[in-house]
Amino acid sequence: MPFTAQKLELTPEQRQELLVISRSTKAEHRMVQRAKILIMVNEGKSYAVIKKELSTNNQAIAKWKKRFLSQGVEGLKDQSGRGKAPVYNEYDEARVINLVCSKPSDGYSNWSQKRIGEKLGLSQSTVCRILSKSRLKPHKTEYWCGKSSDPEFESKMVTIIGLYMDPPKNALVLCVDEKTQIQALDRTQPELPMRQGNPKRLTSTYKRNGTTSLIAALSVHTGEVTASTMDRNDSENFLRFLKMLDREYRNKQLHIIADNLSVHKDAKVKEWLSHKRKITIHFTPTYSSWLNLVELWFNILTKDVLKNAVWKSKEQLIEQMMDYIKTYNKTRVKPFVWKYDPYKLYSKVSNE
């Protein structure tokens, strides 16, 4: 009969804290492991089950249970003095931190552990340990959406999200944009197909067989995509696409969301729209194309079709993209669910 550990009693607060640690993607693996052990003991799981699921042993289970009973969640941390003493001192730590937080010289834009070590006379492994302890990551860069300079940002944003969340009756909301300069790239040697143990392989050298641009309209509340290719991204092609949408959705009131580009505001486009009361264009604020949902679909297109592909001609590229759009509309079409609250971003950036 498998030995069952005496059930560990946890307060709701303690259990919640352990659950947070056990699900964390940033906490150290050993902390996650210890939290999982305590949760499973709390649930009355046997030692055999815990050992099998967590690849641990009886001594570890008993140790962390005893440590928790005496010290609480703090007991999960390693005690001071554990492991080999570091081969660096506080002065070395300060030098590494000061250097990595400064701008590199000699034409570099980023620091590497090797160059930090060479500059300070430390080993790369020592630099790695100091950076890890200080939670500094010179190799990593995070981006955020900067504050739009458009004075009408809030009103435009509210209008667009209002169309996403609560569109007018008998109206169709379309997100329109262009993906330009799509290259029909061929390789100088035949593609080597994927096989067991080896991924698909392509030569790093390539040749261009022309470029094309794709203009697409995403129907926000059905997810259906209407698209056309063009040689140039200009007002004539944009107007031609609007006329195609007008014919395709003849009996619908159209609300079109487009980026704030000059080709979308050309005099010919404005003149044609002046006679089309059923069509209204809403422009995204400056530097806010992320409000346009068709950008999400372009990302899907890039991953499914354009990445690491080979085409012998521009015509082959166009044919494959249009074939993919037909397949997408038949098998995968569904609306994107708008969940992001732009007020959080806007208020955060405004306060900085």
The answer as to whether 140 is a domain residue is no
Mean pLDDT of 17-26: 88
- Chain-wide mean pLDDT for the chain? 88
Query: How far from 286 is each of 109, 147, 152, 298, CA to CA, in Å?
Result: 29, 10, 9, 20
Please give the model's pTM, rounded to 2 decimal places: 0.65
The model's confidence at residue 228, banded by pLDDT at 50, 70 and 90, is: very high
The pLDDT assigned to 349 comes to: 45
pLDDT digits (tens, 9 = 90+) for 50-61: 888 898 998 988
**The pLDDT of residue 102 is above 90:** yes
Domain count, the chain: 3
SS3 255: strand
Mean pLDDT of 265-283: 94
Q: Do 257 and 175 touch, CB atoms closer than 8 A?
A: yes
How far apart CA 62 and CA 53 sit, in angstroms, is 16
The pLDDT assigned to 339 comes to: 74
User: Same domain for 185 and 313?
Assistant: yes
Mean pLDDT of 246-258: 93
Range of 38's domain? 12-76
User: Same domain for 70 and 174?
Assistant: no
- DSSP letter assigned to residue 9: P
The pLDDT assigned to 341 comes to: 65
**The pLDDT of residue 30 is above 80:** yes
The pLDDT assigned to 215 comes to: 97
The pLDDT assigned to 101 comes to: 93
The pLDDT assigned to 308 comes to: 86
The answer as to whether 296 is a domain residue is yes
The pLDDT assigned to 249 comes to: 92
User: Same domain for 223 and 331?
Assistant: yes
User: Same domain for 207 and 319?
Assistant: yes
The answer as to whether 229 is a domain residue is yes
Mean pLDDT of 210-226: 96
User: Same domain for 122 and 164?
Assistant: no
Tell me which H or E stretch contains 254.
Answer: strand 253-258
User: Same domain for 179 and 99?
Assistant: no
SS3 of 281-318: the string is: EEECCCCCHHHCCHHHHHHHHHHHHHCCCCCCCHHHHH
User: Same domain for 269 and 223?
Assistant: yes
The answer as to whether 146 is a domain residue is no
Q: Do 158 and 285 touch, CB atoms closer than 8 A?
A: no
